[in-house]
Chain A
Amino acid sequence: MSVKGWKTAFALAASFAMTVPAAAQTPPGVLVVGQIAEPQSLDPQQVTAANDFRITTNIYEGLVRYATGTLDLEPALATAWEISQDGLTYTFDLRPDVTFHDGSPFDAEAVKFTFDRMLDEAHPFHETGPFPLAFQFSTVEEVRVVDPMTVEFRLEEPYAPFLNNLALPVGAIVSPAGVEAAGEGFGRQPSGTGPFRFAEWIANQRVVLAANPDYWGGAPALEAVVFRPVADANTRVAEMLSGGIDVLVETPPDNITLFADDPAFELHEAVGPHVWFLILNTREGPFADPRVRQVVNLAVDKQSLVDNVLQGTASVAAGPIPPAFDWAYNPDVAPWPHDPERARQLLAEAGAEGASLRFLVTEGGSGMLDPVPMATAIQADLAAVGLNVSIETYEWNAYLARVNAGLAGQGDMAQMAWMTNDPDTLPSLTLHSDALPEEGGFNSGYYANPQLDELLDRARVVTAEAERGEIYRQVQALVHEEAPWLFGAHWRQNAVTSSRVSGLVLQPDFTLQLRSVAKN
């Protein structure tokens, strides 16, 4: 090609670049949310991932919900409720004049339909899906329609977390007419009562919700919300910087300061009901001795983990109940201090100096934060007091299969993280002696303490919140001292919004409530 030819080509390319509109200015009133993956389904009873919940909680509502920015229950589709003396019957008054997005009315039949579909294998629409989280309602014996605006739940046994579970995304009420029309396809043609209605789902590109002008709580400020899957963390950050998305959730820790320091963005944080911990094998090996378990808690510099490895995206944990449950959290229990000197003494007393420990570590997984760097830091801290830790890493699926089966014969310590909506869930499923892996529970470290069992059993049947809270404060103190785990960290949920977005308050349960959000 001649020089003149090159010049022409260059001029053409340059003019092409000039005529292209400035990329990715999202329109006002339309909020674009960048998430790690696209949803699996928009059927609230079928989904298990935070990605999906962030969408379904804007389409559907439950009988109760968490007040903005808290884990305190408030009325949603139920306006009031009554719990019988024996704690077995819950009666709900339903909100009148609410319609589903498909135009059918919301009533007691719809509530009964929702729970029967999930729990009753003989229900004509049970076939519309597997219901992985149905066990959250396994204590429900019967749902009864008292009259069109009153519904009654009968439980098999008193179960205090029941109300909280109704506020979970899986407790959302679906439109019976919608399920009847769509069948198995309901997850792609969802219909609820929430502030946004489903508009469009283009696989691998976007899920679009449009404002529901008839929402009982008033039409939302946004015209539409677009959920975009952007799997790669670097790309997600680049999209936020280039203006392609308005909300970035689960910001990589390394990028937090980038956004926090830039006035074009706003960083939101909220404490989450999350615990990251190390399960210690209390059945065999050095951790059968409570003193060695305390040594681990003293030896590991958790503040440094949180500040340096996690770059301030978490806070240090003191026990199995995170401070997000403010009514049940015990502020008098302080996290174990970092005291290698005392750890060495205690280790000598227990006669376990130089013990070798097998440490199971995952490469990554839901809520696991930064597992491998955290494990390496813990390994170094334990080496400093005289414990030899060998790390074995596994891919998340393989890891779960291994750890959930119990640590016997497999290792001395293992990482785990849980996100829950009730202070009962984590200790009951992971520390109660009835919850050993062979019993189908998650107590993979085989911790057994009759005193703790008794407290947890009592807390389940007490329905008065103040009284339950008091019991959980005792649980916290007891478990802290016995140290069945290395108490690690509570993840602080974060999100970044562009300065065009207003009114976003993060929910501690990692859902995204958009009914009061606006964007110019």
Chain B
Amino acid sequence: MVAYAAKRLLAAIPVLVGLSVIVFAIMAMIPGDTALAILGSYATPENVARLNADLGLDRSLPEQYLAWAGNLVQGDLGRSYALNRPVLDEVSERFAATLILAGTSLVLASILGLLAGIVSAARQFGWADRIVTFLVLVGISTPAFLLGLILILLFAVRWRLFPASGMYAVYGGGDLADLLHHLVLPSITLAVIAAGIIARLTRGAMLEVLRQDFVRTARAKGLSERAVIGRHALRAALVQVIPVIGLQAGFVLGGAVYVETVFQWPGIGAMLVNAVAQRDILLVQGGVLVVAASYVLVNLLADVAQASLDPRLKS
């Protein structure tokens, strides 16, 4: 299992290198540059040239890329032009915020999705199934930003139960309770679509498993329905559901961009949007690299989890 995981990790390195080259090339190709973004209407060709020289952006692209890669090997991602601080500090802080939001959402989505899927499979065509199916449809089809705004209007503006945005109170606060309080609305917003997808798949997988012989055998042995579903059917269904949860982890990370913007969550998605607008190349590269690496890692974890549930996949 360890060797399998290590092999997968090594295979990710060329992917990440290639990705960084592509990101670097794209940033170089889009019109407008860092100095222009900083200077705005004051951007005379003369000022732009001087600022580019100050920032080291007048060197050739391969030179810039190699300098970046050389520093990267030493664990240095460079300095953000726009924020005037080390990329590593910014990216790690932002990524931690995204992980908190995306992680909470994924847990929430998994619990809700699994529960809903199991309930509706166990009560196929019953009223619980119908309600769940309806809710899942609504959840999947509501865009996250719209849901976010509705939640803000109801729970922050009208009832003032939860803060409208941010990760911590602006003055005082800063403890776990404060964080959880700020986490409620954005994590629900982000979890809804993933929960719907997980619920749908769990329901399908459960229905399929429930028709199989070993379930009939378990029932015939006189096990309670709860034990049949919980101990036998669910375990078999999870083999199908876990890779989907892994995929949803990627989806949640991607969807975090909108949710982070709407709720002003200081995560990496919102950071990347700003960094691209400001042509902050080093920050974009650092951010993309970290996000890509986390995708690789999440998929790896999902594969390992699936393999441990289903011994046939280990070979």
What is A's interface to B at a CB cutoff of 8 Å?
1, 17, 20, 22-24, 26-27, 30, 32, 37, 40-41, 46, 48-49, 129-130, 132-133, 135, 184, 187-188, 203-206, 208, 224, 226, 228-232, 234-235, 238-239, 241-245, 365-367, 394-402, 404-405, 416-418, 437, 440-442
In this complex, what residue of B is CB-closest to A364? B277
Query: Is B41 touching A416 in the complex (CB atoms < 8 A)?
Result: yes
- Tell me how far the C-beta of A163 lies from the nearest C-beta in chain B, rounded to whole angstroms: 20
Partner of B261, one of A129, A232, A397, A417: A232
- Tell me how far the C-beta of A12 lies from the nearest C-beta in chain B, rounded to whole angstroms: 14
- Tell me how far the C-beta of A142 lies from the nearest C-beta in chain B, rounded to whole angstroms: 21
Check B229 for interface membership: any CB of A closer than 8 A.
no
A-B contact count (CB 8 A): 167
- A sample of 6 inter-chain contacts (CB < 8 A) reads A23-B160, A24-B160, A130-B54, A231-B270, A242-B160, A397-B277
Partner of B170, one of A132, A206, A234: A206
Query: Is B40 touching A400 in the complex (CB atoms < 8 A)?
Result: yes
Give Cα A32 to B166, complex, Å: 13
A residues within 8 A CB of B279? Answer: 397
Check B32 for interface membership: any CB of A closer than 8 A.
yes
Query: Is A238 touching B156 in the complex (CB atoms < 8 A)?
Result: yes
Given the known A-B contacts A24-B163, A232-B261, A401-B31, are A238 and B36 also in contact in the complex, defined by CB atoms under 8 Å?
no
Interface string of B144-162 (1 = CB under 8 A from A): 0000010011001100111
Given the known A-B contacts A20-B181, A231-B270, A400-B36, are A243 and B160 also in contact in the complex, defined by CB atoms under 8 Å?
yes
Query: Is B264 touching A231 in the complex (CB atoms < 8 A)?
Result: yes
What are the nearest 8 A-B pairs in CB distance?
A397-B32, A204-B266, A398-B31, A130-B54, A440-B46, A238-B164, A242-B156, A241-B157
Check B203 for interface membership: any CB of A closer than 8 A.
no
Query: Is B44 touching A440 in the complex (CB atoms < 8 A)?
Result: yes
Give Cα A24 to B155, complex, Å: 12
In this complex, what residue of A is CB-closest to B280? A40
Partner of B84, one of A41, A232, A396: A41
Query: Is B42 touching A401 in the complex (CB atoms < 8 A)?
Result: no
Query: Is B84 touching A46 in the complex (CB atoms < 8 A)?
Result: yes
Query: Is B152 touching A238 in the complex (CB atoms < 8 A)?
Result: yes
- Tell me how far the C-beta of B114 lies from the nearest C-beta in chain A, rounded to whole angstroms: 13
Given the known A-B contacts A37-B274, A242-B157, are A20 and B162 also in contact in the complex, defined by CB atoms under 8 Å?
yes
Query: Is B31 touching A244 in the complex (CB atoms < 8 A)?
Result: no
Give Cα A144 to B181, complex, Å: 56
A residues within 8 A CB of B170? Answer: 26, 32, 205-206, 226, 228, 244-245
Query: Is A397 touching B37 in the complex (CB atoms < 8 A)?
Result: yes
Give Cα A30 to B173, complex, Å: 14
Partner of A238, one of B43, B165, B261, B270: B165
Query: Is B152 touching A235 in the complex (CB atoms < 8 A)?
Result: yes
Give Cα A46 to B54, complex, Å: 12
Query: Is A204 touching B157 in the complex (CB atoms < 8 A)?
Result: no
Query: Is A203 touching B164 in the complex (CB atoms < 8 A)?
Result: no
B residues within 8 A CB of A241? Answer: 157
- Within 242-290 of B, Cβ neighbours of A (below 8 Å) are at 261-264, 266, 270-271, 274, 277, 279
Check B9 for interface membership: any CB of A closer than 8 A.
no
In this complex, the member of B32, B90, B170 whose beta carbon has the largest number of chain A beta carbons within 10 angstroms is B170
Give Cα A232 to B164, complex, Å: 12
In this complex, what residue of B is CB-closest to A241? B157
B residues within 8 A CB of A366? Answer: 40-41
B residues within 8 A CB of A41? Answer: 83-84
Give Cα A184 to B46, complex, Å: 24
Query: Is A22 touching B31 in the complex (CB atoms < 8 A)?
Result: no
Interface residues on B, range: 35 or more
Give Cα A40 to B83, complex, Å: 5
- Tell me how far the C-beta of B235 lies from the nearest C-beta in chain A, rounded to whole angstroms: 20
Query: Is A203 touching B165 in the complex (CB atoms < 8 A)?
Result: no
Given the known A-B contacts A203-B93, A205-B168, A441-B44, are A242 and B163 also in contact in the complex, defined by CB atoms under 8 Å?
yes
- Tell me how far the C-beta of A220 lies from the nearest C-beta in chain B, rounded to whole angstroms: 17
In this complex, what residue of A is CB-closest to B89? A203
In this complex, the member of A203, A395, A405, A441 whose beta carbon has the largest number of chain B beta carbons within 10 angstroms is A203
In this complex, what residue of A is CB-closest to B93? A203
Query: Is A26 touching B42 in the complex (CB atoms < 8 A)?
Result: no
B residues within 8 A CB of A208? Answer: 171
Query: Is A48 touching B46 in the complex (CB atoms < 8 A)?
Result: no
In this complex, what residue of A is CB-closest to B54? A130
In this complex, what residue of A is CB-closest to B184? A20
Partner of A367, one of B37, B41, B153: B41
Check B8 for interface membership: any CB of A closer than 8 A.
no
Interface string of B45-61 (1 = CB under 8 A from A): 11100010011000000
In this complex, the member of B30, B33, B160, B168 whose beta carbon has the largest number of chain A beta carbons within 10 angstroms is B160
A residues within 8 A CB of B297? Answer: none
In this complex, the member of A17, A135, A367, A397 whose beta carbon has the largest number of chain B beta carbons within 10 angstroms is A397
A residues within 8 A CB of B162? Answer: 20, 23
Give Cα A409 to B157, complex, Å: 51
Known pairs A130-B38, A203-B85 / 10 extra A-B pairs, C-beta < 8 Å = A23-B181, A24-B169, A26-B170, A30-B171, A37-B274, A135-B42, A231-B264, A232-B262, A396-B277, A397-B32
Query: Is A417 touching B41 in the complex (CB atoms < 8 A)?
Result: yes
A residues within 8 A CB of B40? Answer: 48-49, 365-366, 400
Partner of A235, one of B39, B54, B262: B262
B residues within 8 A CB of A395? Answer: 31-32
Give Cα A326 to B94, complex, Å: 46
Given the known A-B contacts A132-B51, A187-B84, A416-B41, are A24 and B164 also in contact in the complex, defined by CB atoms under 8 Å?
yes
Query: Is A130 touching B262 in the complex (CB atoms < 8 A)?
Result: no
B residues within 8 A CB of A441? Answer: 44
Give Cα A305 to B71, complex, Å: 52
Query: Is A132 touching B31 in the complex (CB atoms < 8 A)?
Result: no
Query: Is B160 touching A22 in the complex (CB atoms < 8 A)?
Result: yes
Query: Is B166 touching A205 in the complex (CB atoms < 8 A)?
Result: yes
Given the known A-B contacts A235-B262, A243-B160, are A204 and B93 also in contact in the complex, defined by CB atoms under 8 Å?
yes
A residues within 8 A CB of B83? Answer: 40-41, 203
Give Cα A393 to B219, complex, Å: 67
In this complex, the member of B152, B165, B261 whose beta carbon has the largest number of chain A beta carbons within 10 angstroms is B165
Interface string of B117-150 (1 = CB under 8 A from A): 0010000000000000000000000000000010
Given the known A-B contacts A32-B171, A231-B270, are A400 and B161 also in contact in the complex, defined by CB atoms under 8 Å?
no
- Within 90-127 of B, Cβ neighbours of A (below 8 Å) are at 90, 93-94, 97, 119
- Tell me how far the C-beta of A235 lies from the nearest C-beta in chain B, rounded to whole angstroms: 5
Given the known A-B contacts A187-B84, A203-B266, A231-B261, are A133 and B42 also in contact in the complex, defined by CB atoms under 8 Å?
yes
Check B311 for interface membership: any CB of A closer than 8 A.
no
Partner of A442, one of B31, B33, B41, B160: B41
In this complex, what residue of A is CB-closest to B47? A135
Check B82 for interface membership: any CB of A closer than 8 A.
yes
Check B167 for interface membership: any CB of A closer than 8 A.
yes
B residues within 8 A CB of A228? Answer: 166, 170
In this complex, the member of A208, A224, A232, A241 whose beta carbon has the largest number of chain B beta carbons within 10 angstroms is A232
B residues within 8 A CB of A135? Answer: 42, 47
B residues within 8 A CB of A416? Answer: 41
Query: Is A226 touching B51 in the complex (CB atoms < 8 A)?
Result: no
Query: Is B51 touching A234 in the complex (CB atoms < 8 A)?
Result: no
Interface string of B165-199 (1 = CB under 8 A from A): 11111111000000001000000000000000000
Give Cα A242 to B51, complex, Å: 42
B residues within 8 A CB of A129? Answer: 84
